[in-house]
Amino acid sequence: MNDKKYILDNLNLVKERLALKGYNFDIENFINIENLRKEKQVFLENLQSEKNKLNKLNIPLDEKRILANNFDNEIKELNLIVEELKLNLNNILLEMPNLPDLNCTIGNDENDNKTLKVVGNIPVFNFDIKDHVDIGLFNQEINFELGTALAQPRFVVLKNRVAKLHRALVNFMLDIHTNQHQYIEFNLPTLVNEQALIGTGQLPKFKDDLFKVEGADLYLIPTAEVPLTNMFANQIVNYKQLPLNLTAHTNCYRSEAGAYGKDTRGMIRQHQFEKIELVKLVTEEQAEQEFNNLLAHAEKILQLLNLPYRVVELCTGDLGFGARKTYDIEVWIPSQNKYREISSCTYFADFQARRMNAKYKNKENKNIFLHTINGSGLAVGRTLVAILENYQKEDGTFDIPEILHKYMY
Protein backbone atom coordinates (compact mmCIF):
# COMPACT_ATOMS: atom_id res chain seq x y z
CA MET A 1 0.00 0.00 0.00
CA ASN A 2 1.01 3.61 -0.29
CA ASP A 3 2.58 5.49 2.64
CA LYS A 4 -0.18 7.37 4.51
CA LYS A 5 2.22 10.10 5.63
CA TYR A 6 3.39 10.67 2.05
CA ILE A 7 -0.23 10.87 0.90
CA LEU A 8 -1.13 13.44 3.58
CA ASP A 9 1.95 15.54 2.74
CA ASN A 10 1.32 15.39 -1.04
CA LEU A 11 -2.44 15.19 -1.47
CA ASN A 12 -2.74 16.94 -4.84
CA LEU A 13 0.28 15.20 -6.36
CA VAL A 14 -1.05 11.82 -5.22
CA LYS A 15 -4.46 12.58 -6.73
CA GLU A 16 -2.82 13.59 -10.03
CA ARG A 17 -0.62 10.47 -10.18
CA LEU A 18 -3.48 8.12 -9.31
CA ALA A 19 -5.70 9.76 -11.94
CA LEU A 20 -3.14 8.63 -14.54
CA LYS A 21 -4.12 5.07 -13.55
CA GLY A 22 -7.80 5.90 -13.80
CA TYR A 23 -8.29 6.04 -10.01
CA ASN A 24 -10.30 8.86 -8.46
CA PHE A 25 -8.79 9.67 -5.07
CA ASP A 26 -11.41 11.31 -2.82
CA ILE A 27 -9.16 13.68 -0.88
CA GLU A 28 -11.98 15.20 1.19
CA ASN A 29 -13.21 11.81 2.43
CA PHE A 30 -9.67 10.66 3.26
CA ILE A 31 -8.90 13.86 5.20
CA ASN A 32 -12.20 13.78 7.06
CA ILE A 33 -11.65 10.20 8.25
CA GLU A 34 -8.05 10.89 9.25
CA ASN A 35 -8.93 14.10 11.12
CA LEU A 36 -11.75 12.34 12.96
CA ARG A 37 -9.41 9.47 13.86
CA LYS A 38 -6.84 11.90 15.29
CA GLU A 39 -9.53 13.78 17.22
CA LYS A 40 -10.90 10.58 18.76
CA GLN A 41 -7.38 9.29 19.42
CA VAL A 42 -6.50 12.44 21.40
CA PHE A 43 -9.78 12.19 23.33
CA LEU A 44 -9.03 8.52 24.06
CA GLU A 45 -5.53 9.30 25.33
CA ASN A 46 -6.90 12.07 27.53
CA LEU A 47 -9.46 9.69 29.03
CA GLN A 48 -6.76 7.13 29.75
CA SER A 49 -4.66 9.82 31.37
CA GLU A 50 -7.58 10.96 33.55
CA LYS A 51 -8.25 7.39 34.62
CA ASN A 52 -4.61 6.99 35.64
CA LYS A 53 -4.96 9.96 37.97
CA LEU A 54 -7.72 8.26 39.99
CA ASN A 55 -5.25 6.55 42.31
CA LYS A 56 -3.97 9.93 43.45
CA LEU A 57 -7.43 11.24 44.37
CA ASN A 58 -8.29 11.32 48.07
CA ILE A 59 -11.81 9.92 47.74
CA PRO A 60 -13.57 6.79 49.03
CA LEU A 61 -12.64 3.50 47.34
CA ASP A 62 -16.21 2.79 46.23
CA GLU A 63 -16.36 6.16 44.51
CA LYS A 64 -13.04 5.44 42.79
CA ARG A 65 -14.41 2.13 41.51
CA ILE A 66 -17.50 3.82 40.09
CA LEU A 67 -15.41 6.48 38.38
CA ALA A 68 -12.98 3.84 37.05
CA ASN A 69 -15.88 1.81 35.68
CA ASN A 70 -17.27 4.90 33.93
CA PHE A 71 -13.85 5.61 32.43
CA ASP A 72 -13.54 1.99 31.27
CA ASN A 73 -16.90 2.14 29.51
CA GLU A 74 -16.03 5.38 27.72
CA ILE A 75 -12.55 4.12 26.81
CA LYS A 76 -13.99 0.88 25.44
CA GLU A 77 -16.52 2.77 23.30
CA LEU A 78 -13.89 5.19 22.02
CA ASN A 79 -11.50 2.34 21.25
CA LEU A 80 -14.16 0.76 19.03
CA ILE A 81 -14.65 4.07 17.20
CA VAL A 82 -10.92 4.60 16.71
CA GLU A 83 -10.40 1.04 15.47
CA GLU A 84 -13.28 1.39 13.02
CA LEU A 85 -11.80 4.63 11.65
CA LYS A 86 -8.39 2.96 11.33
CA LEU A 87 -10.04 0.08 9.48
CA ASN A 88 -11.77 2.51 7.12
CA LEU A 89 -8.46 4.21 6.35
CA ASN A 90 -6.72 0.86 5.90
CA ASN A 91 -9.43 -0.31 3.49
CA ILE A 92 -8.98 2.84 1.42
CA LEU A 93 -5.22 2.23 1.31
CA LEU A 94 -5.68 -1.47 0.42
CA GLU A 95 -7.90 -0.56 -2.53
CA MET A 96 -5.72 2.33 -3.71
CA PRO A 97 -3.31 1.50 -6.59
CA ASN A 98 0.40 2.08 -6.37
CA LEU A 99 1.57 5.47 -7.57
CA PRO A 100 3.09 5.30 -11.05
CA ASP A 101 6.73 6.27 -11.35
CA LEU A 102 7.26 9.95 -12.13
CA ASN A 103 9.19 8.96 -15.26
CA CYS A 104 6.51 6.60 -16.64
CA THR A 105 5.19 7.29 -20.11
CA ILE A 106 1.79 8.95 -19.74
CA GLY A 107 -1.00 7.27 -21.70
CA ASN A 108 -4.47 5.76 -21.56
CA ASP A 109 -4.05 2.12 -22.62
CA GLU A 110 -1.82 -0.40 -24.39
CA ASN A 111 -1.89 1.69 -27.57
CA ASP A 112 0.21 4.30 -25.76
CA ASN A 113 2.90 1.86 -24.58
CA LYS A 114 6.45 2.57 -25.71
CA THR A 115 8.59 0.00 -27.53
CA LEU A 116 12.09 0.20 -26.05
CA LYS A 117 13.83 -2.36 -28.25
CA VAL A 118 13.27 -5.16 -30.74
CA VAL A 119 15.57 -8.19 -30.66
CA GLY A 120 16.00 -10.98 -33.22
CA ASN A 121 14.74 -11.52 -36.74
CA ILE A 122 11.14 -12.42 -37.48
CA PRO A 123 11.22 -15.75 -39.37
CA VAL A 124 10.18 -15.84 -43.01
CA PHE A 125 8.38 -19.01 -44.14
CA ASN A 126 8.09 -20.17 -47.74
CA PHE A 127 5.00 -22.25 -46.92
CA ASP A 128 1.60 -21.71 -45.35
CA ILE A 129 2.24 -21.51 -41.62
CA LYS A 130 0.22 -23.29 -38.96
CA ASP A 131 -0.59 -22.09 -35.48
CA HIS A 132 0.44 -24.15 -32.45
CA VAL A 133 -3.02 -25.70 -32.21
CA ASP A 134 -2.79 -27.20 -35.69
CA ILE A 135 0.83 -28.24 -35.13
CA GLY A 136 -0.21 -30.02 -31.94
CA LEU A 137 -3.18 -31.68 -33.61
CA PHE A 138 -1.09 -32.76 -36.59
CA ASN A 139 1.42 -34.42 -34.27
CA GLN A 140 -1.37 -35.67 -31.95
CA GLU A 141 0.46 -34.15 -28.98
CA ILE A 142 -1.81 -31.28 -27.88
CA ASN A 143 -5.36 -32.20 -26.93
CA PHE A 144 -7.81 -29.46 -25.99
CA GLU A 145 -10.86 -31.71 -26.19
CA LEU A 146 -9.45 -34.02 -23.55
CA GLY A 147 -8.54 -31.05 -21.35
CA THR A 148 -12.13 -29.82 -21.60
CA ALA A 149 -13.51 -33.29 -20.86
CA LEU A 150 -11.33 -33.63 -17.78
CA ALA A 151 -12.00 -30.11 -16.52
CA GLN A 152 -13.54 -27.43 -18.73
CA PRO A 153 -12.48 -25.11 -21.59
CA ARG A 154 -9.09 -23.39 -21.18
CA PHE A 155 -7.42 -26.61 -20.02
CA VAL A 156 -5.15 -28.76 -22.17
CA VAL A 157 -3.40 -32.15 -22.19
CA LEU A 158 0.14 -32.37 -23.63
CA LYS A 159 1.64 -35.62 -24.81
CA ASN A 160 4.92 -37.22 -25.91
CA ARG A 161 7.40 -34.80 -27.50
CA VAL A 162 5.41 -31.65 -26.65
CA ALA A 163 5.05 -32.73 -23.01
CA LYS A 164 8.77 -33.45 -22.90
CA LEU A 165 9.56 -30.08 -24.48
CA HIS A 166 7.43 -28.39 -21.83
CA ARG A 167 9.39 -30.19 -19.07
CA ALA A 168 12.68 -29.39 -20.81
CA LEU A 169 11.83 -25.69 -20.80
CA VAL A 170 11.18 -25.76 -17.05
CA ASN A 171 14.55 -27.39 -16.31
CA PHE A 172 16.39 -25.17 -18.79
CA MET A 173 14.97 -21.94 -17.35
CA LEU A 174 15.66 -22.94 -13.76
CA ASP A 175 19.21 -23.97 -14.63
CA ILE A 176 19.91 -20.61 -16.28
CA HIS A 177 18.48 -18.58 -13.43
CA THR A 178 20.08 -20.58 -10.61
CA ASN A 179 23.47 -21.32 -12.22
CA GLN A 180 24.10 -18.18 -14.26
CA HIS A 181 22.06 -15.54 -12.45
CA GLN A 182 22.42 -16.86 -8.87
CA TYR A 183 18.75 -17.04 -7.94
CA ILE A 184 17.84 -19.27 -4.99
CA GLU A 185 15.33 -21.94 -6.06
CA PHE A 186 12.30 -22.76 -3.92
CA ASN A 187 9.59 -25.41 -4.05
CA LEU A 188 6.43 -23.73 -2.80
CA PRO A 189 2.81 -24.33 -1.80
CA THR A 190 0.41 -23.53 -4.63
CA LEU A 191 -2.36 -22.91 -2.11
CA VAL A 192 -2.06 -19.79 0.03
CA ASN A 193 -4.23 -17.99 2.57
CA GLU A 194 -6.07 -14.70 2.13
CA GLN A 195 -3.44 -12.64 3.95
CA ALA A 196 -0.74 -13.74 1.50
CA LEU A 197 -2.84 -12.48 -1.43
CA ILE A 198 -3.53 -9.21 0.37
CA GLY A 199 0.22 -8.90 0.93
CA THR A 200 1.14 -8.93 -2.76
CA GLY A 201 -1.93 -6.98 -3.88
CA GLN A 202 -4.17 -9.61 -5.49
CA LEU A 203 -6.80 -9.06 -2.80
CA PRO A 204 -9.14 -7.37 -2.36
CA LYS A 205 -9.17 -5.96 -5.91
CA PHE A 206 -8.78 -9.16 -7.98
CA LYS A 207 -10.95 -11.56 -6.02
CA ASP A 208 -12.92 -12.59 -9.13
CA ASP A 209 -9.71 -13.65 -10.89
CA LEU A 210 -8.84 -16.20 -8.21
CA PHE A 211 -9.88 -19.80 -7.54
CA LYS A 212 -10.91 -20.21 -3.89
CA VAL A 213 -11.15 -23.49 -2.00
CA GLU A 214 -14.71 -23.78 -0.73
CA GLY A 215 -14.97 -23.77 3.06
CA ALA A 216 -11.29 -22.95 3.66
CA ASP A 217 -9.08 -19.88 3.88
CA LEU A 218 -7.12 -21.07 0.86
CA TYR A 219 -6.74 -19.88 -2.73
CA LEU A 220 -4.89 -21.39 -5.69
CA ILE A 221 -1.99 -19.08 -6.54
CA PRO A 222 -2.22 -16.92 -9.67
CA THR A 223 1.59 -16.66 -9.69
CA ALA A 224 4.53 -17.86 -7.59
CA GLU A 225 5.13 -14.20 -6.78
CA VAL A 226 2.61 -14.64 -3.96
CA PRO A 227 4.34 -17.35 -1.88
CA LEU A 228 7.86 -16.27 -2.87
CA THR A 229 7.40 -12.68 -1.71
CA ASN A 230 5.26 -13.51 1.32
CA MET A 231 8.00 -15.70 2.78
CA PHE A 232 9.32 -12.39 4.11
CA ALA A 233 6.05 -11.06 5.52
CA ASN A 234 6.52 -9.77 9.09
CA GLN A 235 10.27 -10.40 8.77
CA ILE A 236 13.28 -8.13 9.14
CA VAL A 237 16.36 -9.05 7.09
CA ASN A 238 19.83 -7.58 7.39
CA TYR A 239 20.90 -5.17 4.65
CA LYS A 240 23.98 -7.36 4.06
CA GLN A 241 21.65 -10.09 2.69
CA LEU A 242 20.31 -7.78 -0.03
CA PRO A 243 19.58 -8.08 -2.84
CA LEU A 244 17.77 -11.39 -2.34
CA ASN A 245 17.15 -13.23 -5.63
CA LEU A 246 14.44 -15.91 -5.53
CA THR A 247 12.97 -18.22 -8.16
CA ALA A 248 10.39 -20.99 -8.33
CA HIS A 249 8.56 -23.14 -10.84
CA THR A 250 4.87 -23.58 -10.05
CA ASN A 251 1.52 -24.23 -11.55
CA CYS A 252 -0.54 -21.03 -11.64
CA TYR A 253 -4.31 -20.68 -11.74
CA ARG A 254 -6.44 -17.81 -13.00
CA SER A 255 -10.17 -17.65 -13.62
CA GLU A 256 -9.64 -15.15 -16.48
CA ALA A 257 -12.81 -13.40 -15.30
CA GLY A 258 -12.04 -10.31 -17.34
CA ALA A 259 -10.98 -12.18 -20.47
CA TYR A 260 -14.33 -13.34 -21.84
CA GLY A 261 -13.95 -14.04 -25.54
CA LYS A 262 -10.19 -13.38 -25.57
CA ASP A 263 -7.71 -16.01 -26.81
CA THR A 264 -10.27 -18.80 -26.74
CA ARG A 265 -8.20 -20.79 -29.22
CA GLY A 266 -5.00 -22.39 -28.06
CA MET A 267 -2.67 -22.14 -25.09
CA ILE A 268 -2.15 -18.40 -24.83
CA ARG A 269 -4.74 -17.93 -22.07
CA GLN A 270 -5.38 -20.95 -19.83
CA HIS A 271 -6.92 -21.45 -16.40
CA GLN A 272 -3.89 -23.57 -15.42
CA PHE A 273 -0.40 -22.84 -16.65
CA GLU A 274 3.20 -23.08 -15.50
CA LYS A 275 5.66 -20.32 -14.96
CA ILE A 276 9.16 -19.66 -13.70
CA GLU A 277 8.93 -16.68 -11.38
CA LEU A 278 11.78 -14.31 -10.52
CA VAL A 279 11.55 -12.16 -7.37
CA LYS A 280 14.03 -9.65 -5.98
CA LEU A 281 13.96 -8.08 -2.52
CA VAL A 282 16.13 -4.97 -2.50
CA THR A 283 16.81 -1.59 -0.93
CA GLU A 284 15.52 1.54 -2.63
CA GLU A 285 19.09 2.38 -3.67
CA GLN A 286 19.52 -1.02 -5.35
CA ALA A 287 16.12 -1.02 -7.04
CA GLU A 288 16.86 0.57 -10.43
CA GLN A 289 19.90 -1.60 -11.17
CA GLU A 290 18.23 -4.78 -9.93
CA PHE A 291 15.08 -4.05 -11.94
CA ASN A 292 17.22 -3.81 -15.06
CA ASN A 293 19.04 -6.99 -14.06
CA LEU A 294 15.81 -8.94 -13.67
CA LEU A 295 14.61 -7.74 -17.08
CA ALA A 296 17.91 -8.85 -18.63
CA HIS A 297 17.64 -12.27 -16.93
CA ALA A 298 14.18 -12.85 -18.40
CA GLU A 299 15.35 -11.67 -21.83
CA LYS A 300 18.31 -14.06 -21.70
CA ILE A 301 15.98 -17.06 -21.96
CA LEU A 302 14.55 -15.82 -25.27
CA GLN A 303 18.02 -14.96 -26.56
CA LEU A 304 19.31 -18.45 -25.82
CA LEU A 305 16.23 -19.96 -27.49
CA ASN A 306 16.76 -17.66 -30.48
CA LEU A 307 13.18 -16.37 -30.35
CA PRO A 308 12.42 -12.86 -31.65
CA TYR A 309 10.97 -10.48 -29.07
CA ARG A 310 10.55 -6.89 -28.07
CA VAL A 311 10.56 -4.98 -24.75
CA VAL A 312 7.73 -2.54 -24.10
CA GLU A 313 7.37 0.03 -21.32
CA LEU A 314 3.79 0.18 -20.08
CA CYS A 315 2.20 3.63 -19.98
CA THR A 316 0.46 4.89 -16.85
CA GLY A 317 -3.00 3.85 -18.03
CA ASP A 318 -1.89 0.26 -18.70
CA LEU A 319 0.06 -0.26 -15.46
CA GLY A 320 -1.14 -2.96 -13.10
CA PHE A 321 -2.73 -2.20 -9.73
CA GLY A 322 0.45 -2.70 -7.68
CA ALA A 323 2.97 -1.55 -10.28
CA ARG A 324 5.20 1.47 -9.93
CA LYS A 325 6.79 0.67 -13.29
CA THR A 326 6.52 -2.28 -15.71
CA TYR A 327 8.39 -3.59 -18.72
CA ASP A 328 6.65 -6.28 -20.75
CA ILE A 329 8.62 -8.74 -22.84
CA GLU A 330 6.64 -9.82 -25.89
CA VAL A 331 7.61 -12.80 -28.04
CA TRP A 332 6.79 -13.07 -31.75
CA ILE A 333 3.87 -15.40 -32.57
CA PRO A 334 3.89 -16.06 -36.35
CA SER A 335 0.28 -17.27 -36.68
CA GLN A 336 -0.99 -14.05 -35.07
CA ASN A 337 1.54 -11.90 -36.91
CA LYS A 338 2.29 -9.97 -33.74
CA TYR A 339 4.18 -9.95 -30.46
CA ARG A 340 2.47 -11.39 -27.37
CA GLU A 341 3.38 -10.89 -23.71
CA ILE A 342 5.56 -13.65 -22.28
CA SER A 343 6.87 -11.83 -19.20
CA SER A 344 5.79 -8.80 -17.22
CA CYS A 345 8.66 -7.37 -15.16
CA THR A 346 7.46 -5.01 -12.45
CA TYR A 347 8.95 -2.70 -9.85
CA PHE A 348 6.62 -2.21 -6.86
CA ALA A 349 8.79 0.08 -4.69
CA ASP A 350 7.67 -0.52 -1.06
CA PHE A 351 3.98 -1.02 -2.00
CA GLN A 352 3.94 -4.77 -1.32
CA ALA A 353 6.32 -4.59 1.63
CA ARG A 354 4.01 -2.18 3.47
CA ARG A 355 1.10 -4.59 2.99
CA MET A 356 3.26 -7.50 4.24
CA ASN A 357 5.25 -5.59 6.87
CA ALA A 358 8.49 -6.80 5.26
CA LYS A 359 11.56 -4.82 6.31
CA TYR A 360 15.34 -4.76 6.41
CA LYS A 361 17.70 -3.36 9.04
CA ASN A 362 20.04 -0.76 7.53
CA LYS A 363 23.57 0.25 8.56
CA GLU A 364 22.17 2.66 11.14
CA ASN A 365 20.17 -0.19 12.69
CA LYS A 366 16.90 1.34 11.47
CA ASN A 367 14.10 -0.85 10.11
CA ILE A 368 13.15 0.15 6.54
CA PHE A 369 10.50 -1.28 4.22
CA LEU A 370 11.93 -3.50 1.49
CA HIS A 371 11.40 -2.77 -2.20
CA THR A 372 10.17 -5.66 -4.37
CA ILE A 373 10.63 -6.56 -8.03
CA ASN A 374 9.30 -9.54 -9.94
CA GLY A 375 8.76 -10.98 -13.38
CA SER A 376 8.29 -14.21 -15.28
CA GLY A 377 11.41 -15.92 -16.41
CA LEU A 378 9.39 -17.14 -18.39
CA ALA A 379 5.80 -18.28 -18.83
CA VAL A 380 6.42 -21.88 -19.88
CA GLY A 381 3.30 -22.48 -21.98
CA ARG A 382 3.74 -19.32 -24.01
CA THR A 383 7.41 -20.15 -24.57
CA LEU A 384 6.30 -23.57 -25.82
CA VAL A 385 3.83 -21.91 -28.19
CA ALA A 386 6.54 -19.59 -29.51
CA ILE A 387 8.90 -22.51 -30.18
CA LEU A 388 6.27 -24.62 -31.95
CA GLU A 389 5.35 -21.74 -34.24
CA ASN A 390 8.76 -20.14 -34.87
CA TYR A 391 10.48 -23.52 -35.34
CA GLN A 392 7.74 -25.16 -37.43
CA LYS A 393 8.56 -27.01 -40.63
CA GLU A 394 6.64 -27.40 -43.88
CA ASP A 395 5.76 -31.03 -43.14
CA GLY A 396 3.84 -29.98 -39.99
CA THR A 397 6.53 -31.00 -37.50
CA PHE A 398 8.86 -28.67 -35.59
CA ASP A 399 12.51 -28.36 -34.62
CA ILE A 400 13.87 -28.04 -31.09
CA PRO A 401 16.22 -25.14 -30.26
CA GLU A 402 19.76 -26.49 -30.04
CA ILE A 403 20.26 -25.39 -26.44
CA LEU A 404 17.37 -27.66 -25.37
CA HIS A 405 18.75 -30.82 -26.99
CA LYS A 406 20.52 -31.97 -23.85
CA TYR A 407 17.21 -31.68 -21.96
CA MET A 408 15.30 -33.61 -24.64
CA TYR A 409 17.54 -36.42 -25.85
Listed by start position, the domains of the chain span 26-95, 110-408
Q: pLDDT (tens digit, 9 = 90+) per residue, 95-124? A: 999 999 999 999 999 999 999 999 999 999
**What's the rounded mean pLDDT across residues 260-264?**
82
Question: At 161, phi and psi to the nearest 5?
Answer: -65, -35
Q: Cβ(133)–Cβ(384) under 8 Å?
A: no
Nearest to 133 by CA among 261, 270, 249: 270
Which pLDDT belongs to residue 40? 96
Task: Residue 243: name the closest of 280, 277, 198 by CA.
Answer: 280
Q: How many whole angstroms separate alpha carbon 389 and alpha carbon 268?
A: 12
Instruction: Work out whether strand 359-361 and strand 236-238 pair parallel, antiparallel, or are unpaired.
Output: parallel
Write out pLDDT tens, residues 346-373: 999 999 999 999 999 999 999 999 999 9
Per the CB < 8 A criterion, the answer to whether 370 and 118 are in contact is no
pLDDT at 64 (0 to 100): 80
Tens digits of residue pLDDT in 60-84: 888 888 888 998 999 999 999 999 9
Within 10 Å of residue 27's Cβ, how many Cβ atoms?
14
**41 dihedral zone (left: phi>0; alpha: psi -120 to 50; beta):** alpha
Using CA atoms, how far apart are residues 244 and 184, in angstroms rounded to an integer? Answer: 8
Element (H, E) at 44: helix 27-52
What pLDDT does 61 receive?
A: 82
**What is the average per-residue pLDDT within 299-308?**
98
Whether 309 contacts 342, CB under 8 Å: yes
Task: Identify each DSSP E strand in 165-208 by its residue range.
Answer: 184-186, 191-192
Q: Is the peptide bond between 204 and the residue preceding it cis, with omega within 30 degrees of 0?
A: yes
Identify the pLDDT of residue 59.
82
Of the candidates 130, 140, 134, the one whose C-alpha atom is nearest the C-alpha of residue 160 is 140
β-bridge partners, 257? none
Query: Architecture of 110-408 per CATH?
Result: 2-Layer Sandwich (3.30)
* CA of residue 104 relative to chain centroid, distance: 18
Q: What is the pLDDT of residue 52?
A: 85
Element (H, E) at 355: helix 351-356
Please tell me the pTM assigned to this model.
Answer: 0.94
Q: What is the mean pLDDT of residues 184-204?
A: 98
Q: 291: which residues sit within 8 A by CB, 6+ positions away?
A: 280, 325, 345, 347, 373
What confidence score (pLDDT) does residue 56 get? 78
Q: How far is CA 218 from CA 25, 153, 194, 277, 290, in A?
A: 31, 23, 7, 21, 32
